[in-house]
C-alpha cells in the first residue's frame, strides 16, 4: 500500500482537532500542542484487562464478568479520565481470506466504547494478544497472510468507527514482539505500523485526524527502541500521533526477587531513568507519550507479593514522576483491583494513594510497620519521614490525637515513638497487629503505622510432594519478607539461579491464616534432587533456616534443632537461640532435657554466660561444699557470688544440685540486671508468692522477662525447668542489648 506522507487539509480535520503542522522541537515556555493537551486530558487512565482481550469463548473466558454500563459509570466515578480497551481478535474472526470479525463480538465492543464515551472518557482500542498468538511467529513464518490478517482487522475497525468522536483513539498493536534478529523485529513492527497508519488515515470520516497510538518494540523503553519509534513518527509528519510504552517498575522489585524487598534507590532510579528517556526523546520534541500499562508484575500472583508500605511508596513516586514528565499513565487492571461487580477496590489503601497522587505528592515513611518483640525491653523507635514538601499535622490513634513530647517527638523529618507509648499499645501482649497509628499531613494521603508484637517464628517438620509442599509455621505475629534457597555446596537452588533469593508468591507463599509456608511446583520444577537449605527472612529481622530433601516428586522438610528433644517443644525458638548465643549446651547424647528441673549450678553457668563473665578466672569457691560443685560451674559461681547475684546458704554451702524455684530465678535475674524500685504484680496466686520475692517478680514481669504459666498463675514455688531458664536468659540478653543501644543513642 502506498505510503502517505502528508494529508490534505480536509474540513473534517478542522472540525475535529484543528491542529497546526507539528514541530518536533518545543520551547520550555510554549503552550502544549493540541495533541499533548489531548493526552494531558486523558490523565489518569485505566485498562479493562482480561475482558475483550481474553482468549476463549467470550469476554468472560478469563474469569471476569460481562462488562455492564453500570460498571463503566462506577469506574468513571473513581476519577479516571480515559479507558484502554484491549481487544483480541484471533478466535473471533474467520479464517477465510476476508478475515471477517464476528459481528456479535463487535456489537459488544460497540457497547463498551459507547458507554465509556457517554461517561466522558477518552477511549483507546487496540489489537492485543494477537501480537503473541499469531503475529510473533507469523511475520517471519507466514508473513503475507499475517500481514493481510492484521490489515483486515484495522480495515474493518477503521470503517466501523470512522464517524466516532476523536475521543476514541486507535492503538496499532499491544506489546509487539517477533521472531528474528533485532533488525528484523523492528522491520516487522514498522511494516505493521505503516499498514495500520495508512488504513486508518485513508478510511474517511474523523479517521483523517483521529489520534493514533504507536508502540515501541515490546512497548519497551530501551534507548534503541525509543529511537526507532521516534524516527518512524518523524517521517510520518503527522500532528496526531502518540507514542506508547509500558512500565512495570524495576523487575526485581516488581516481583520481589533477588532480595529487593523495599522501594530502594535502585528502584526509584529506574523510574527516573525510564521516564526521563521517554520525556527527552518524545515529549520534549513534541510527541506525547501514554504509559499504556503500568503496575507491578507481582500482582499477577499476589496483590501483596510486594510489602504494602513499599508498594504504596512505589505508586506515589511513579505517578508523581510520570505526571512531572507529562506522561499519561493507565493502570493495568485485569480484575484484581477494581471489582467488576462489587465496584469496590480490593486494596483501598492503594487506590487512595493513587487518587491522592493524581493531585500532588503524599508524604511517606521509611516503614509502615513497627515490630516489638514480645517479652523484650521496649525502647524508643525512630522513623524517618519522607515529607515530599508536605508538613506533619498530627499523630493519631483511633481518631484521637497523641501528645507531642509525651507520646512522640518530631525532630525535623524524624518521628520518634516513645517507649511508654509502645508499651501502652502492646500491653495486652497479644501477638500480631496491636495498634494502627495514623500520621496526618497538611495535604496528600495520610500514612499508617502498624504496631506489631511478635515472637520468633517456629517451623515444623513436613512431608509432601513437589506439586505443593506446605511447611507448618507458627508466624507468631511476624511476616515473611523473602526466602533464599541454596544447595549444600552453597550454590543457588531453584528458578532464576543467578540469585539465591526466590520470587515471592511464584515460588513460595506464606499463609498467615492457616500457618503454612507453601513451596510451589514452580520452585521444585527447577530444583535438583538432594538437600536444599532455605533461609527465611522476616520483616522483624528474624532469620530462620530450614532443610528440604527432594527425591523425585517426594519432599520432606525438617528444622535442624540443636538438640534432638526440642524440635516440637514449646521452647524450641528460645532454646535454639540460647544455644546459638552459647548460653546453653546439651548432653553428650544430643539431648537437652527441656522439662528437667534446673540446678543451681546450671543456673549459674547460664547467667554467667548471658552476662558474658569469664569462664576461667578461678577454679576455687569459698563454699563449704566446694567438693560437690562441678568444675564447669565453679568460675561462674565464684564471680556471681562476689557480685552478690547468687548467694549461698547460712550454713556456708552452695548446694549446686538443688533445684531453683521460679521465685528464686526472678530474684536472681532482678539482681543481675540491677532492677530497682517498687512494683506490683497481680497474679491469681499472688498470695502464695513469698514476700521476699514479691517485688522482684513484679519487676521482671513488667519487663516481660518472666510471665505466668498457661493458667495465668506465677507458680512461685515450682521448680524452674531448663527450657524456662534458657528462654528467660535469651530475654535477658535482649534486654541488655536494648539498654546498651538506648544508652549509646543518648550519648
Q: Which residues have a catalytic role annotated?
A: 175, 293
- Strand order across the 458-459 sheet: 458-459, 468-474, 516-520, 508-511
CA 628 centroid distance within chain: 58
Please spell the DSSP secondary structure of 552-619, one letter per residue.
TTEEEEE---SSTT-TTSTTHHHHHHHHHTTS----TTS---TTSBPBHHHHHHHHHHHTT--S-S-S
Alpha helical stretches, state H, 384-473: 419-425
Question: What whole-number distance in Å separates Cα of residue 137 and Cα of residue 185?
Answer: 11
The conformation of residue 398, written as its DSSP 8-state character, comes to: T
Give the Cα separation of 394 and 381 in Å (integer).
17
Cα(337)–Cα(44) distance, rounded to whole angstroms? 15
Q: DSSP E strands: which ranges in 295-431? A: 327-331, 364-365, 369-373, 381-386, 392-397, 400-401, 408-411, 414-417
Roughly what angle, to the nearest 10 degrees, separates helices 69-77 and 103-118?
Answer: 30
Residue with cell 518545543: 26
Closest CA to 505 of 319, 254, 692: 254
What is the torsional sign of CA 502, 508, 510, 516? negative
Cβ-proximal residues to 391 (8 Å cutoff; 6+ apart), any chain: 441, 442
Distance CA 151, CA 627 (A): 100
Nearest CA to 7 out of 17, 21, 25 is that of: 21
Q: What is the largest CA-CA distance in the chain?
A: 116
Cell of 704: 516481660
Instruction: Tell me the Ramachandran region of residue 259: left when phi exceeds 0, alpha when psi lies from -120 to 50, beta otherwise.
Output: left
Residue 541's alpha-carbon distances to 415, 436, 456, 480, in angstroms, are 21, 21, 10, 10
Residue 463, CA distances (Å) to 12, 508, 522, 746 in order: 71, 16, 18, 50
Of 65, 13, 485, 76, whose CA–CA distance to 210 is shortest? 13
Residue with cell 522438610: 557
- Percent helix, strand, coil in the chain, to 5, is 35, 20, 45
The distance in angstroms from the start CA to the end CA of the chain is 79
CB 248 within 8 A of CB 254: yes
Contact between 625 and 654 (Cβ < 8 Å): yes
Inter-residue contact 621 to 655 (CB < 8 Å): no
Contact 532, 547 (CB under 8 A): yes
Q: How many angstroms separate the CA atoms of 364 and 385, rounded?
A: 6
Burial 195-217 (b: 16+ CB within 10 A, else e): bbbbbbbebebbbbbbbbbbbbb
Task: Please name the residue ranges forming H helices in 62-181.
Answer: 69-77, 103-118, 130, 136-141, 143-161
Q: How far is CA 145 from CA 107, 135, 178, in A?
A: 26, 10, 15
CA distance 666 to 28: 73
C-alpha–C-alpha distance, residues 491 and 45, integer Å: 44
From CA 190, how far away is CA 209, in angstroms rounded? 20
Grid cell in block for residue 55: 482468549
Q: How far apart are CA 533 and CA 550, in angstroms?
A: 11
Amino acid at each position: 500500500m502506498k505510503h502517505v506522507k502528508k494529508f490534505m487539509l480536509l474540513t473534517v480535520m478542522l472540525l475535529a482537532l484543528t491542529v497546526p503542522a507539528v514541530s518536533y522541537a518545543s520551547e520550555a515556555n510554549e503552550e502544549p500542542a493540541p495533541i499533548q493537551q489531548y493526552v494531558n486530558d486523558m490523565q489518569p487512565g485505566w485498562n479493562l484487562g482480561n475482558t475483550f482481550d481474553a482468549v476463549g469463548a467470550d469476554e468472560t473466558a478469563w474469569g471476569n464478568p460481562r462488562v455492564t454500563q453500570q460498571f463503566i459509570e462506577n469506574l468513571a466515578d473513581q476519577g479516571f479520565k480515559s479507558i484502554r480497551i484491549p481487544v483480541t481478535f484471533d478466535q473471533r474472526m474467520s479464517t477465510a481470506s476476508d478475515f471477517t470479525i464476528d459481528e456479535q463480538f463487535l456489537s459488544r465492543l460497540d457497547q463498551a466504547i459507547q458507554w465509556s464515551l457517554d461517561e466522558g472518557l477518552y477511549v483507546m482500542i487496540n489489537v492485543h494478544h494477537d501480537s503473541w498468538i499469531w503475529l510473533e511467529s507469523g511475520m517471519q513464518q507466514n508473513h503475507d497472510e499475517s500481514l493481510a490478517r492484521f490489515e483486515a482487522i484495522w480495515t474493518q475497525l477503521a470503517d466501523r468507527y470512522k464517524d466516532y468522536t476523536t475521543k476514541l483513539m486507535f492503538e496499532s498493536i499491544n506489546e509487539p514482539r517477533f521472531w528474528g534478529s533485532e533488525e528484523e523485529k523492528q522491520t516487522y513492527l514498522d511494516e505493521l505500523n505503516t499498514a495500520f497508519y495508512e488504513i486508518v488515515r485513508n478510511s474517511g470520516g474523523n479517521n483523517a485526524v483521529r489520534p493514533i497510538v504507536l508502540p515501541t518494540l515490546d512497548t519497551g523503553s530501551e534507548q534503541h527502541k525509543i529511537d526507532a519509534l521516534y524516527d518512524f513518527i518523524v517521517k510520518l509528519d503527522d500532528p496526531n500521533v502518540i507514542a506508547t510504552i509500558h512500565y512495570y517498575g524495576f523487575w526485581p522489585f516488581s516481583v520481589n526477587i533477588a532480595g529487593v524487598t523495599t522501594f530502594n534507590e535502585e528502584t526509584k532510579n529506574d523510574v527516573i531513568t525510564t521516564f526521563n528517556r521517554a520525556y527527552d526523546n518524545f515529549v520534549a520534541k513534541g510527541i506525547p507519550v501514554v504509559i499504556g500499562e503500568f503496575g507491578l508484575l507481582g500482582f499477577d500472583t499476589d496483590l501483596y507479593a510486594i510489602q504494602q508500605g513499599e508498594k504504596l511508596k512505589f505508586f506515589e513516586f511513579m505517578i508523581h514522576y510520570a505526571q512531572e514528565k507529562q506522561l499519561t499513565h493507565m493502570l493495568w487492571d485485569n480484575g484484581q483491583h477494581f471489582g467488576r461487580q462489587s465496584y469496590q477496590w480490593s486494596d483501598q489503601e492503594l487506590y487512595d494513594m493513587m487518587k491522592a497522587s493524581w493531585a500532588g505528592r503524599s508524604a511517606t515513611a521509611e516503614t509502615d510497620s513497627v515490630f516489638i518483640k514480645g517479652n523484650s525491653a521496649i525502647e524508643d523507635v525512630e522513623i524517618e519521614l519522607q515529607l515530599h514538601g508536605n508538613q506533619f499535622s498530627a499523630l493519631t490513634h483511633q481518631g484521637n490525637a497523641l501528645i507531642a513530647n509525651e507520646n512522640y517527638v518530631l525532630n525535623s523529618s524524624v518521628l520518634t515513638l516513645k517507649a511508654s507509648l509502645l508499651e501502652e499499645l502492646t500491653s495486652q501482649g497479644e501477638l500480631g497487629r496491636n495498634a494502627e497509628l495514623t500520621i496526618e499531613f497538611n495535604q496528600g494521603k495520610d500514612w499508617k503505622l502498624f504496631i506489631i508484637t511478635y515472637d520468633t517464628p517456629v517451623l515444623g517438620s513436613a512431608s509432601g510432594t513437589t506439586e505443593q509442599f506446605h511447611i507448618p509455621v507458627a508466624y507468631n505475629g511476624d511476616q515473611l519478607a523473602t526466602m533464599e534457597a541454596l544447595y549444600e555446596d552453597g550454590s543457588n537452588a531453584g528458578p532464576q539461579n543467578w540469585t539465591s533469593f526466590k520470587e515471592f508468591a511464584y515460588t513460595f507463599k506464606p499463609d498467615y491464616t492457616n500457618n503454612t509456608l507453601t513451596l510451589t511446583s514452580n520452585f521444585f520444577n527447577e530444583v535438583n534432587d538432594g538437600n536444599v537449605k532455605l533461609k527465611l527472612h522476616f520483616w522483624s529481622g528474624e532469620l530462620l533456616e530450614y532443610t528440604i530433601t527432594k527425591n523425585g516428586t517426594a519432599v520432606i522438610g525438617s528444622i535442624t534443632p540443636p538438640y534432638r528433644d526440642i524440635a516440637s517443644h514449646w521452647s524450641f525458638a528460645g532454646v535454639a537461640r540460647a544455644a546459638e548465643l552459647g548460653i546453653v549446651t546439651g548432653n553428650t547424647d544430643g539431648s537437652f532435657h527441656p522439662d528437667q528441673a534446673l540446678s543451681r549450678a546450671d543456673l549459674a553457668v547460664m547467667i554467667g554466660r548471658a552476662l558474658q563473665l569469664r569462664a576461667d578466672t578461678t577454679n576455687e569457691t569459698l563454699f563449704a561444699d566446694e567438693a560437690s560443685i562441678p568444675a564447669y560451674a565453679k568460675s561462674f559461681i565464684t564471680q556471681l557470688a562476689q557480685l552478690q547475684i547468687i548467694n549461698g546458704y547460712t550454713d556456708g554451702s552452695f548446694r549446686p544440685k538443688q533445684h531453683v524455684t521460679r521465685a528464686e530465678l526472678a530474684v536472681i535475674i532482678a539482681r543481675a540486671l540491677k532492677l530497682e524500685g517498687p512494683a506490683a504484680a497481680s497474679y491469681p496466686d499472688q498470695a502464695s508468692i513469698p514476700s521476699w520475692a514479691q517485688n522482684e517478680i513484679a519487676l521482671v514481669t513488667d519487663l516481660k522477662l518472666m510471665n505466668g504459666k498457661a493458667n495465668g498463675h506465677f507458680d512461685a514455688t515450682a521448680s524452674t525447668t531448663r527450657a524456662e531458664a534458657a528462654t528467660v536468659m535469651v530475654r535477658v540478653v535482649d534486654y541488655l542489648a536494648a539498654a546498651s543501644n538506648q544508652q549509646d543513642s543518648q550519648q
